[in-house]
Amino acid sequence: MPLNKILVIDDDKSIREMLELYLVEEGYRVCLADSGNAGVNAFIQEEPDLVILDIRLPDMDGFAVLEDLQEENERVKVIMITAFHDMETTIKAMKGGAFDYIHKPINIGELDVAIHKALSSLEIERKLKGILTEPSRQFKVGDIVGSSKEMQEIFKIIGIVSQNRATVLIQGESGTGKELIARVIHNNTDIQEPFIAINCSAIVETLLESELFGHEKGSFTGASGRKLGKFELGGCGTVFLDEIGEMSFGLQAKLLRVLQEQEFERVGGKDTVKMQARVIAATNRDLRSLVSEGKFREDLFYRLNIVSIRIPPLRERKKDIPLLTDVLLNKICRDLHKDSIQVTPEVMEEFFRYPWPGNVRELENLLVRAVVVAKSQVLLLSDFPSLFANTEIGRRHEQAPPEGSISCLDEQGKLLTLEGMEERYIRKVLAQGIKTKGEACDLLGITRPTLERKLEKLKIVFEKE
């Protein structure tokens, strides 16, 4: 069997020589090109199995080279390399049809894995003679930032799923940006149809069914006319089902049928309606655990989990904190019509130490408050009293809390976790003479199922209905 041939297109001579030496030692045949045009010509003449392509070339853009290569062979496997770490170029590369995307300085181990995956994929395609989806040319970007490896992988997946209509399941803790990911996927598709979001935990079961599927006149008390549901209003766009783990077992069965049959009936109706919208679901709960506990349908889980995206919590991608802080501060200052503001190195050090239980949403909320009360163009530790109350500088600037407020410190003077603050707040609200659980839900801003779950977890007995 002949050795696989790899074409390296890069204007940096040292990188070409380094890659040639490594690839030859690994047993590959290698051909080199120092420009875009030379690379396209070499591709036509040499017919390589794989191309390693730099994005920045002296004569033409790497994406233009990728396009020319695909015109010659739509199944070409291209690994793009660049010094850029932003979401836009990553998504553009993956959406443009690149097999993988690797950053400089090149990690040989990462490159080796990508090469083996690409060649294995090529071998399978040759055996099966499969047909690949033609990559879309149009490109839109969202507001997600991150240079960490975890976020770069998410950007790659977004680029891939933007080319098709596969169902996507997004999992991650509260505050990680699940809806934002869903919107970026939707915005990167070619279909100009609505993005419709619905929170499955914020609507009681009887109304949720009507919200999703619609209803006919007279189907229940108060149904004075026909109402179209989200699946129908979504057209060929996207229906985003947030907090899917809170959906009742009975409604799960109906959703499963819709996903399987791609059709449904309005509540109280007999006519079948075609479902054309793409479904993206999200949850902050572990659906596999819920399946094991019998609280979530296993067949629905597998139907939703066609493509899975796990958004890591901020504490697992602290490398992104400086970039996130910079982007969020620019956005906040623009929205509040303030001049540019930065944080001190001491604040950034504390940001890296803090576990961020509320994730990116917590970071943004803290920065908003700090910018609002800031007295200069630099945010100090003293501008984050709740976050840095247990630091020396934080204690120095600590003031007595107003009467009736909730302290964020425990009995030892240490900063409470977000969970601890939540428990303290729930107990304080329930101690205010609340008469019903509905009243408690209104004050806390949560749904009845969420309240029941939190009371059970905190072992709080509240008998009032």
Q: What is the mean pLDDT of residues 324-347?
A: 86
Mean of pLDDT values over 353-369: 91
Band (pLDDT 50/70/90 cuts) for residue 142 is very low
Residue 61 lies in a domain: yes
| Whole-number pLDDT of residue 143 | 63
- The arithmetic mean of pLDDT across residues 228-257, rounded, is 92
Return the sign of the alpha-carbon dihedral for residues 295, 300, 305, 309: negative
Instruction: CATH number of the domain at 239, please.
Output: 3.40.50.300
- The whole-number pLDDT of residue 241 equals 95
Highest mean pLDDT among 192-201, 226-235, 299-308, 447-456: 299-308
Give the tens place of pLDDT for each residue, 169-216: 999 999 999 999 999 999 888 878 899 999 988 888 778 888 898 888
Q: What average pLDDT does the segment 52-75 reach?
A: 90
Q: Is the pLDDT of residue 465 over 70?
A: no
Question: For position 166, what pLDDT does the model report?
Answer: 92
Q: What is the rounded end-to-end Cα distance, in angstroms, of the chain?
A: 75
Residue type (1 letter), 201? S
Residues 241 and 347 in one domain: no
Given a contact cutoff of 8 angstroms between Cβ atoms, the answer to whether 277 and 234 are in contact is yes
The answer to the question of residue 138 being in a domain is no
Tell whether 187 and 275 lie within a shared domain.
yes
Q: According to the 3-state scheme, what is the secondary structure of the chain?
A: CCCCEEEEECCCHHHHHHHHHHHHHCCCEEEEECCHHHHHHHHHHHCCCEEEEECCCCCCCHHHHHHHHHHHCCCCCEEEEECCCCHHHHHHHHHCCCCEEEECCCCHHHHHHHHHHHHHHHHHHHHHCCCCCCCCCCCCCCCCCCCCHHHHHHHHHHHHHCCCCCCEEEECCCCCCHHHHHHHHHHCCCCCCCEEEEECCCCCHHHHHHHHHEECCCCCCCCCCCEECHHHHCCCCEEEEECHHHCCHHHHHHHHHHHHHCEEECECCCCEEECCCEEEEEECCCHHHHHHCCCCCHHHHHHHCCEEEECCCHHHCHHHHHHHHHHHHHHHHHHCCCCCCEECHHHHHHHHHCCCCCHHHHHHHHHHHHHHHCCCCEECHHHCCCCCCCCHHHHHCCCCCCCCCCCCECCCCCECCHHHHHHHHHHHHHCCCCCCHHHHHHHHCCCHHHHHHHHHHHCCCCCCC
Instruction: Write down the pLDDT at residue 388.
Output: 60
Structure tokens, 79? 């690994």
Assigned domain for 409 exists: no
- Per mean pLDDT, which range of 107-121, 319-333, 382-396 is the poorest? 382-396
Residue 141 lies in a domain: no
Residue 396: predicted pLDDT = 44
User: How many structural domains does the chain have?
Assistant: 4
Instruction: Return the closest-CA partner of residue 321 out of 366, 284, 378, 386.
Output: 366
326/276 same-domain check: no
Residues 95 and 177 in one domain: no
Q: Per residue in 370-416, pLDDT tens?
A: 888 776 678 888 788 877 655 444 444 444 444 445 555 555 555 56
Angle made by CA atoms 428, 432, 435, in degrees to the nearest 5: 120
Which among 368, 399, 430 is the end of a domain?
Answer: 399
Residue 133: pLDDT band with limits 50, 70, 90: very low
Would you state the structure tokens that stand for residue 98, as one six-digit string?
């690149």
Q: Tell me, yes or no, whether 190 and 289 share the same domain.
A: yes
As a whole number of angstroms, the distance between CA 71 and CA 76 comes to 9
Asked whether residue 380 falls in the same domain as residue 429, the answer is: no
Mean pLDDT on 343-362: 89
| Same-domain status, 234 and 318 | no
> Is 410 among the domain residues?
no
Domain membership of residue 136 (yes or no) is: no
CA–CA gap between residue 250 and residue 297 (Å, rounded): 10
Q: What is the pLDDT of residues 6-35, one digit of tens each?
A: 999 999 999 999 999 999 988 999 999 999
> Does residue 267 or residue 260 have the better pLDDT?
260
Q: Let me know whether 83 and 173 are in one domain.
A: no
Domain boundary among 250, 282, 310: 310
Which of 289, 310, 331 terminates a domain? The answer is 310
Residues comprising the chain, all counted: 465
Residue found under tokens 């130490």: 353
Q: CB of 59 within 8 A of CB of 41? A: no
Residue 320 forms part of a structural domain: yes
Quote the pTM value: 0.65
Give me the percent of the chain exceeding a pLDDT of 70: 87
Question: Does one domain contain both 188 and 263?
Answer: yes
Residue 152 lies in a domain: no
Q: Are residues 260 and 388 in the same domain?
A: no
Contact 157, 135 (CB under 8 A): no
Q: Report, as an integer, the average pLDDT of 152-179.
A: 91
pLDDT band per the 50, 70, 90 thresholds, residue 462? confident
CB of 379 closer than 8 Å to CB of 342: yes
Q: Residue 38 has what pLDDT?
A: 93
- CB neighbourhood size of 245 (10 A): 21
Residue 446 pLDDT class (50, 70, 90 cuts): confident
* In the predicted structure, residue 356 carries a pLDDT above the cut 70: yes
pLDDT higher than 70, residue 117: yes
pLDDT of residue 442: 72
- Summarize pLDDT for 261-312 with one digit per residue, the tens: 999 888 888 888 999 999 999 999 999 999 999 999 999 999 999 999 999 9
Q: Domain check: are 123 and 224 in the same one?
A: no
Cα dihedral sign, 134-139-142-145: positive
CA–CA distance, 216 with 230 (Å, rounded to integer): 14
195 and 84 assigned to the same domain:
no
Structural domain range at position 326 = 314-399
